[in-house]
A = this chain, B = another copy of it.
């Protein structure tokens, strides 16, 4: 991650270590569900918190009122209790910081291949033990070109109930607050384009990729 900074007459790039990343569209062939992770994201929460602040009535105010969305629909109970303690009138509930995402992780282990890192994330976050040979690369692209410019590689993995060896949930000791979520195949495209459900573009793209590439195999109607 790089920032252009000016200190007196000195201009320079300040760079933090940026890691590439992997993400995995997981399809459970037993239950015909996609496996996503639902995660509390501090950056999303803080953005919503900033957005919810009372707007001063000044012409110079930069925040666009029209850009402010309705509060995201997150049907389940608040999973981040601490963050909602002491809520004042303009602080959104912790659920406002939750997003639905593909299982994903940083490429920060020098001795592992992208596939091996993806396999580890599937195991840690979602509880499925899947062979690296079962991972199919969908494609790669640049993420966050304005900020990080790192490369993300997306995989597709089919799993079955037999591959399920744990609960997933990530690594709480590393600050991860992850819940495994199933999205039934027949609801996938509705889920993808329901803007009241906060999600990443990776979820939408991978669902539509599946629809284009895998639907014939599973003879599905994806209600689009």
Interface residues of A (CB under 8 A from B): 1-2, 4, 13, 15, 17-20, 39, 41-48, 50, 61-67, 69, 97, 99, 101, 107-114, 117, 139-152, 192-193, 195, 198-205, 208-209, 211-212, 224
Contacts and interface: CB of A to CB of B under 8 A. Distances in A.
Contacts of A17: 50, 62
A13 B146 contact: no
B195 A140 contact: yes
Given A4-B42, A144-B147, A195 B139 contact: yes
Which label, helix, strand, loop or mixed, suits the secondary structure of the A interface? Answer: mixed
B205 A146 contact: no
Contact of A147 (B43, B45, B198): B43
Contact of A200 (B47, B145, B148, B192): B145
A140 B66 CA distance: 14
A94 B78 CA distance: 46
B204 A139 contact: yes
Contacts of A199: 141-142
Contacts of A192: 139
Nearest to A63: B110
Contacts of A148: 43, 47, 144, 147
A43 B140 contact: no
Contact of A205 (B1, B101, B107, B204): B204
